[in-house]
Structure 1
Amino acid sequence: MSFARQMLGATQRRAFSASARQASKVTVLGAAGGIGQPLSLLLKLNPRVSKLALYDIRLAPGVAADIGHINTKSEVKGYDATQSALHEALEGAEIVVIPAGVPRKPGMTRDDLFNTNASIVRDLAKATADAAPNAKVLIISNPVNSTVPITAEVFKSKGVYDPKKLFGVTTLDVVRASRFISELKGTDPSDEKITVVGGHSGATIVPLLSQSGYSLEGEKLDSYVHRVQFGGDEVVQAKGGAGSATLSMAMAGARFTESLLKASQGEKNVIEPTFVESHLYKDQGVTYFASNVELGPNGVEKIHPVGKLTAHEQGLLDACLKDLKGNIEKGVKFVKENP
């Protein structure tokens, strides 16, 4: 068996025959970056992807040529940094994944990235709205709490916004929460699935240990929550300022893309955490919120409620909602002031 087929895993291999009959074009905007390259590699290994379009302001054709040699069935094409090439890369896409942007540096919060990444996402959202208005759009570019509302406002301005098809990728928060609890409890991390709600930065990330039957107290609990909320800082520091969480984020983005493809291709009960337009806390002015979402052929099928919380978790959620409201308003304001 080839290495590529081994990487697909048993579950994906079982899906190979059925998925291969369905054409699924996935476009990655920012494909030559720190997240974009490993993300594109993982998507090339996914048998549910039939066409992979890679765009970036530089090097995308080279990345496409490189991973295009991998012996899986999908076709890969790279596009240079022209408007016509960007339009072609997006045309016919079922899923558009946007990891484009600048990475964090030491001492930088996700909000520090705002002005640069907000402009990048706004412009790519405009191109996507024009060329692929029916695509499911996955936002990885930080700060997600603001870039998702930015994308929504752009789509609204062009009359093509569908709240069921816009997603902020928060999967990495669940991956981290599950990994970190397994380290504390000595369990298999692949068996853990900690519910994480809220947003995708700092105090807006709320892990709900109680819903998985776990209980930590005092300093252990505070340390665990802080590590889940600020795990990205751990990576930035470990890389000495030379990078951020790119490889784990790429894995999380590939996992969420896979879930959307499964749901699009008819699999039932596909549930993933994601930051979407949500009714859960709209009465508090929080129009977007991450919780477990059931996915279907058209995107969002059902938004799951947060569920029962401990007093500590409720306190975390209250702090989250306050920050999240401001993050969302910041994104909406940006588009209004910088159309």
Structure 2
Amino acid sequence: MVKAVVLGAAGGIGQPLSLLLKLNPDVTELGLYDIVNAPGVAADLAHIATPAKVEGYLKDDDGLQKVLTGADVVVIPAGIPRKPGMSRDDLFKTNAGIVRDLATGIATTAPNASVLVISNPVNSTVPIVAEVFKKHGVFDPKRIFGVTTLDVVRASTFVSEILGDRSLATSIAVPVVGGHSGVTIVPLLSQSSHPLPPGFGGSDLEALVKHIQFGGDEVVKAKGTGSATLSMAYAGAEFANKVILALKGKKGIVAPTFVHLAADKAGGEALKKEIGTDLEYFSAPVELGPNGVEKIGGIGKITGAEKALIAAALPDLKVNIDKGVSFIEAPKL
């Protein structure tokens, strides 16, 4: 029995994400919440012939508390989408407050749930959730995840295109570490399960790295009035499925995700030494288990260029993380 909850279920990411979770045979109950339209989305999905019972709630009548009661996995895609010319940091002013309020609801109603944060900027919103949980005395770093799966999906897809065989996309594995915005996204292409063609390097390799790092910007520009919603919903559902399978006891599930490095003290400290940082958060290969984070993996052998990418990512990551922490620590809040 697994209850999954989507907070922001009526939005551009929330609706397709809710559909994909409804199709997941391991989800037996699906709770949907938003400030508008969540009951309608729930009624629509309820007609799909899969086992999950679906219910939708609005803010009125303690809807957040009701939807979160008994939750095992909570996915948060709530917030405004990025628009052309808007950086992920530009989203912070609005989305930080939304995530803070939702995190407060989770901390008071479902503190033992696994929390999967999609709302951007992830590098800042994950620390916001953590700080809210700390204030309520229920912080468990093993159960709070920043969803960076879309970066992995993009890397696998783009590598398959370079190899000239899109059918390989689902089998190609490219570790992506760091964070979830621009230069903080570090694809370790040297560790791709399917090596790039001989001689592929130089400006071609640099272009591929930029393609992965700024793929979201490409979608925003192409849509004109929206951001990556369908691909993000797919990636969010993929990661949620891994968390659910781990909760049910499946072993050996490893996925990159942005976590508090105290989730695995030994692994986290080893990673800090490996990359030369004292940051508390980083996206790294994480082994999942019934209690969330089981083990934080290291970076492994990488190229000089990849070391440079990590070094370039660290200052931005620090600024992003500090912004999230400060948002909750600010006296006026």
TM-score, normalised relative to structure 2: 0.93
Which residue number in structure 1 is paired with residue 272 of structure 2?
A: 281
Alignment partner of 1:247 is 2:230: yes
Deviation at 1:310, TM superposition (A): 0.3
SS of aligned partner of 1:300: strand
Amino acid paired to 1:318: A
The answer to whether structure 1 residue 329 and structure 2 residue 322 are counterparts is yes
Map of 1:163 onto structure 2:
141
Q: Distance in 2 between matches of 1:83 and 1:319?
A: 47
Match for residue 93 of structure 1? 71
1:207 is aligned to: 187
Q: Name the counterpart of 1:75.
A: 53
- Aligned residue for 2:102, secondary structure, equals helix
1:233 is aligned to 217
Distance 2:65 2:171 in 1: 41
**Structure 1 gap segments, 5+ residues each:** 1-22
Instruction: Tell me the residue number matched to 1:217.
Output: 201
> Which of 67, 80, 97 is residue 119 of structure 1 equivalent to?
97
Shift of 1:322: 1.4
Report the aligned-residue RMSD.
1.1
**Which is worse superposed, 180-189 or 121-130?**
180-189
CA distance in 1, matches of 2:14, 2:201: 38
TM-score, length-normalised on structure 1? Answer: 0.91
- Give 3-state SS (helix, strand or coil) of 2:85's partner: coil
Contact 1:55–1:80 (CA<8 Å) still a contact in 2?
Answer: yes
Counterpart AA for 2:241: E
Distance in 2 (alpha carbons) for counterparts of 1:155 and 1:83 = 24
Residue segments in structure 2 that go unaligned for 5+ positions in a row: 262-267
List per-residue Cα deviations over 1:260-317 (Å, max 9, x = no partner).
Answer: 1111111110111100012222872311110111000000000110111100000000
Task: Give the SS at the match of 1:275.
Answer: strand
Aligned to 2:264: none
| Aligned counterpart, 1:139 | 117
Which of structure 1's runs of 4+ aligned residues deviate more than 3 A?
A: 213-216
The one-letter amino acid of 1:277's match is H
2:31 and 2:132 map into 1 onto residues whose CA distance is: 22
Aligned length: 316
- 1:308 alignment partner in structure 2: 301
Q: Which moved more, 1:185-194 or 1:46-55?
A: 185-194
Using the TM superposition, give the Cα deviation of residue 95 of structure 1 relative to its aligned residue in structure 2, in angstroms: 0.5
Would the aligned equivalents of 1:285 and 1:325 in 2 still touch at CA under 8 Å?
Answer: no
Match of 1:63 among 29, 34, 41: 41
